[in-house]
Structure 1
Amino acid sequence: MATIRIHTTQNVTLEYEVGSIGDRIVATLIDSLVLVAWAVLWGVIFQSVGSGGSHETTDWSSASGIIAIIIIAFILAPVVFYSLASEIFFNGQSLGKKARHLRVVRLDGTAPRLGDYFLRWLLRIIDLYLPFAGGLVAIITIAVNGKGQRLGDMAAGTTVVSTKAPAGLLPDLGPSLPLEGYQAVFPQAADLTDHDVALLRQLLSRSLQQGNYVLLNETATKIKQLLHVQSDMSDEAFLRTVLRDHAHVIAAG
């Protein structure tokens, strides 16, 4: 599987496996099934209401225009905004992406912003829903781009990566030192004890293997509180940087 190196604004390099076209297609199909299930649910509800009540109370054609618009908007809103809302509230993952262990990340290592998710969502119209194309634009763009980016990703500065650890291989969380001339981003990392570092490696490894981003966020939050630092880096990038800084500062001292 292709890999991509992400150089963060703190001069740290992270390496990810790019989400494969096959996994992204399956994730899209899963998300489509979720939306189809939503539509079927409402179809069943309307059919049940229409067949269970009197003609006067179930004649939808006599409903006022405003009520009809509200009902239609309520039904269509999740269909239209599903992708945008799920990626915003679930750390770059829809249900389909979570099932296939995929996640949206920025190429500079920081967490995607609301505007990034909005651009990806807006350009889905061209990438996936262009008439007579049927997603070919996205497939071709991802195949030739080399960074796993469709048009929406290129505009937003994002890509989709795999969160699965390669079979039989744990994430590289060892205390390897940065390149010569490296300066610690968080020198406070030296305050971590050996026990803290061992626990941090264990939690980071577990959260990445399991795709548990709640645990990843909680770990990053705890480390920030412990070191009294702030960062706009993604949780994974922050924790990897802390480990690298700890190894660097301890070796230099």
Structure 2
Amino acid sequence: MKTLQIKTAQNVAIKFTLANVFQRLLAFIVDNIVKVAYIYFGIEILGFDMFRAAFDGDSWTLRAMDVLFFLPVTFYSLYTEILLDGQTLGKKLLHIKVINIDGFKPTITDYIMRWFLRIVDFNLFTLLFVYVASLGLNDAYVLIMLIFMFGKLVGFFLILFTNNNQRFGDIIANTIVIFLKDEVRFSHTILMDIKDSYKPTYPNVIKLSDNDARIIKETFKTAAKFNDYKTLIKLRSKIIEVADIKSIHKSDKEFIDTVLKDYNFYTQSM
């Protein structure tokens, strides 16, 4: 498996295992099974077609109903990755997740960008496919299917042949997909000793991800060991920016130590 070593702005080297194309393909298939199951359940079980039949002749209402029905499918990967911290249901099953190229949690803008650019990665020729299909060219059936399949394979080949296993959406959004092979060891790297009577100071630390906490802890330990005050200042600024925290501590060390303890307090009690 490919690995990627990231050197953070705080000069700490962190190694990630990149998800390979087959892991991502399997996650993609699982996610599409979920989408198909939703459509099947809506039409066959809940009788969505029955509701449409009730408004037969009212084209605007029918279109609005179609749009509303397919919204969960259309935005599936976007809202699941935002809500599940960089994972869809398929990614969760395959133990892979999306992170920023710098190792931190992607912003909502990053998620939107990589979702929107699926039109290039998986649907590059969809419009052409729809156009050719609409011409009713029965003799061009094979051509139509080839156009459709090739459009779906663009993302596959980009992941296969790019250095960091990135599709076009990943490249533009500066994201990568990693394999969480060391989940147990990973969780131990973010643990801090806190007493039962501990009272947290910064509730906004829940905006950080486990990976953010790991990077913060490793960077903090290195910087504190060598009294690297420049790095501590940079790390403090990054935490304030990412978690939207207003610091009440004057000392960088006290602030970062408190943030890590607070993160442990909130995540262990959830």
Q: Name stretches of at least 5 consecutive residues in structure 2 with no aligned partner.
A: 126-146, 228-270
Cα drift, residue 143 of structure 1 = 1.8
Q: Report the CA distance shift for 1:119/1:26 in structure 2 as closer, same or farther (over 3 A).
A: same
2:216 corresponding residue in structure 1:
241
Whether contact under 8 Å (1:97, 1:103) holds in the other structure is yes
Whether contact under 8 Å (1:173, 1:240) holds in the other structure is no
Whether contact under 8 Å (1:119, 1:155) holds in the other structure is yes
- Give runs of aligned pairs for residues 221-232 of structure 1, distance below 5 A: 225=201
Which of 170, 174, 179 in structure 2 is aligned with 1:157?
Answer: 174
Q: Report the CA distance shift for 1:97/1:139 in structure 2 as closer, same or farther (over 3 A).
A: same
TM-score by length of 2: 0.63
Q: Name stretches of at least 5 consecutive residues in structure 1 with no aligned partner.
A: 51-56, 175-196, 202-221
Matched, 1:112 2:106: yes
Whether contact under 8 Å (2:105, 2:212) holds in the other structure is no
Count residues in correspondence: 202
- Give runs of aligned pairs for residues 52-131 of structure 1, distance below 5 A: 59-60=53-54, 62=56, 64-131=58-125
2:238 corresponding residue in structure 1:
none
Cα drift, residue 70 of structure 1 = 2.8
Cα drift, residue 14 of structure 1 = 1.5
Cα drift, residue 248 of structure 1 = 5.3
Letter in 2 for 1:60: A
Letter in 1 for 2:42: W
- Percent identity, aligned pairs only, is 28
| Cα distance between partner residues in 2 of 1:103 and 1:139 | 17
Whether contact under 8 Å (1:7, 1:107) holds in the other structure is no
Cα drift, residue 148 of structure 1 = 1.6
Matched, 1:2 2:19: no
CA RMSD of aligned residues (A): 3.6
Classify the secondary structure of the residue corresponding to 2:105: coil
Whether contact under 8 Å (2:101, 2:175) holds in the other structure is yes
Matched, 1:21 2:13: no
TM-score by length of 1: 0.67
